[in-house]
Structure 1
Amino acid sequence: MSNIYKLYLVTDDKQSISELCYVVAEAIKGGVTMVQIREKHGDVRQFIERSAAVKQVLEGSGVPLIINDRVDVALAVKADGVHLGQTDMPASLARKLIGPDMILGLSVENETQLREAQELPVDYLGISAIFSTPTKTNIIKEWGIDGLTKAVKESRLPLVAIGGINEMNIKEIADTQVSGIALVSAICHAESPKQASEELLGLMGR
């Protein structure tokens, strides 16, 4: 099976629904392998509406749709999976609710969380933040290249790197053999999300 985590698009909740659908449609043409809808404003109805719209865009593409934080939204739109943060519902409970087949991801922000997550019923771990970023102000730890390299060796679960990654440093991140790289601004705010995705994949060199 090809690596679904390879180029992982996380959406920008400040974009309108039409911008969001445009970015996703173009990014999958450019080779994005997974899409996560992230909404931080807490309006569940809007979250469902935006997720359902993106689900239609992804129809037939084979690219999985992941919902950030909200198991209820993931179930409501029949998404392919859900991604939890450390303060969200416990992973073991989420797994019971979503069943064995949906993809379950969990963010880890330090070595202790990384170790503890190895025993949880999750499919992959989002490791953050690799570098500090303006979108994430409450960073616990900046892993850096050395920390990421070490984490990749230690984790039996696939890792997806996120945080401050762009065309300048993506090659270095890919060289750690991390399973996937997640991006927000580098794709969402690109003039051509399709071209940006193609170029980022090219820079990853694998």
Structure 2
Amino acid sequence: MGPVKKIDISKYLVVGPENTKGRPVATIIKDAVNAGFTCIQIRSKVASAKELIGLTRHAAEAIEEAGKSQEVALLVNDRLDIVLAARKQGIKVDGIHVGQTDIPVNVCREYLGEDSIVGLSARADELFEYIKTEDVSQLDYFGVGPLRETQTKPDCGLGKDGKVITRSLADIAKISEISSIPVVVGGGVKLADIPSLAQTGVDGFFVVSAVTEADNPKQEATNLVKAWNSYKSRKRQLTKQLTPPN
């Protein structure tokens, strides 16, 4: 079975064993996918290579069990070696997500092929410049954040001076406007943020703890999906009403 043809980053979950309050990563993923999440990223700074391959296998199985292997993309954060090793074992992994200080995008593309997905988190202090000046032809989407400081990833948005640069809604709207590729926003995102985030024009939101550390992950995932879909549905209806007939 080939990779997902076109990535849908509208409802994007990032998860690793350090984020689940001791619950199985695969169970959280299964709940999120069944609730309507469209993209899953495995990210862990504590798991061994063997554990990461196992997590990737369990994630792929959870997506397959939900019947969504051709709709929901499975990505691995940072670790090109894990993607390659998992694929060697017959695990369906659709691609990788890297930062500017990780393995270069062109190297990821060379090893993973044109059919794979490559996403990038640009450095917070260089984001506007990067989006305007860099060649994004090798990328499928940008990850942008944080919306606010988050304990899940304390170094998210760190500038050169060591201070966290958070992103205002105006910043996010500008990024969405100038980017030639899809943009997904996260970093401390909660249910109450979804309507205002959706209004910025970005292509999606990503969350970690809002789902992975929730008392009821499936319910929280469902609430987030409904909130995003509800806004987008209203916008489509409004656009239809405002479009003059031929």
Class of the TM-score when normalised by the shorter of the 2 chains: over 0.9
Preserved contact between residue 92 and residue 120 of structure 1 (Cα < 8 Å): no
- CA distance in structure 1 between the aligned counterparts of 2:7 and 2:72, rounded to whole angstroms: 11
Q: Does 1:53 align with 2:35?
A: no
Change (3 A) 1:96 1:32: same
- CA distance in structure 2 between the aligned counterparts of 1:94 and 1:42, rounded to whole angstroms: 21
Unpaired segments ≥5 residues, structure 1? none
Q: How large is the Cα RMSD of the aligned pairs? A: 1.9
TM superposition shift of 1:186: 0.9
Deviations 1:162-197 (A, max 9, x none): 111101212111111101100001111122222212
Q: Which amino acid aligns with 1:76?
A: A
Tell me the TM-score normalized by structure 2. 0.78
State the secondary structure of the residue aligned to 1:135: coil
Partner of 2:201: 177
Partner of 2:100: 86
- CA distance in structure 2 between the aligned counterparts of 1:48 and 1:155, rounded to whole angstroms: 33
**Pairing partner for 1:119 from 116, 136, 142:** 136
State the secondary structure of the residue aligned to 2:108: helix
State the secondary structure of the residue aligned to 1:168: helix
Change (3 A) 1:18 1:136: closer
State the secondary structure of the residue aligned to 1:164: coil
* Greater Rg by CA: 2
Preserved contact between residue 152 and residue 208 of structure 2 (Cα < 8 Å): no
TM superposition shift of 1:12: 3.2
TM superposition shift of 1:95: 0.5
Unpaired segments ≥5 residues, structure 2? 88-92, 159-164, 233-246
Q: Does 1:103 align with 2:127?
A: no
Q: How does 1:123-134 map to 2 (within 5 A)?
A: 123-134=140-151
State the secondary structure of the residue aligned to 1:169: helix
Partner of 1:31: 36
Partner of 2:10: 6
TM superposition shift of 1:30: 0.6
Tell me the TM-score normalized by structure 1. 0.92
State the secondary structure of the residue aligned to 1:50: helix
Change (3 A) 1:55 1:87: same
Change (3 A) 1:16 1:199: closer
TM superposition shift of 1:25: 0.6
- CA distance in structure 1 between the aligned counterparts of 2:23 and 2:111, rounded to whole angstroms: 31
Preserved contact between residue 26 and residue 59 of structure 2 (Cα < 8 Å): yes
Change (3 A) 1:172 1:30: same
**Number of aligned residue pairs:** 206
Change (3 A) 1:119 1:22: closer
Preserved contact between residue 17 and residue 50 of structure 1 (Cα < 8 Å): no
TM superposition shift of 1:75: 1.9
Q: Which amino acid aligns with 1:10?
A: V
Deviations 1:119-168 (A, max 9, x none): 34010010121222122222332112111010000001100101111012
- CA distance in structure 1 between the aligned counterparts of 2:167 and 2:153, rounded to whole angstroms: 14
Q: Does 1:144 align with 2:168?
A: yes
Preserved contact between residue 214 and residue 220 of structure 2 (Cα < 8 Å): yes
More helix by share: 2
Deviations 1:105-125 (A, max 9, x none): 000122223334453401001
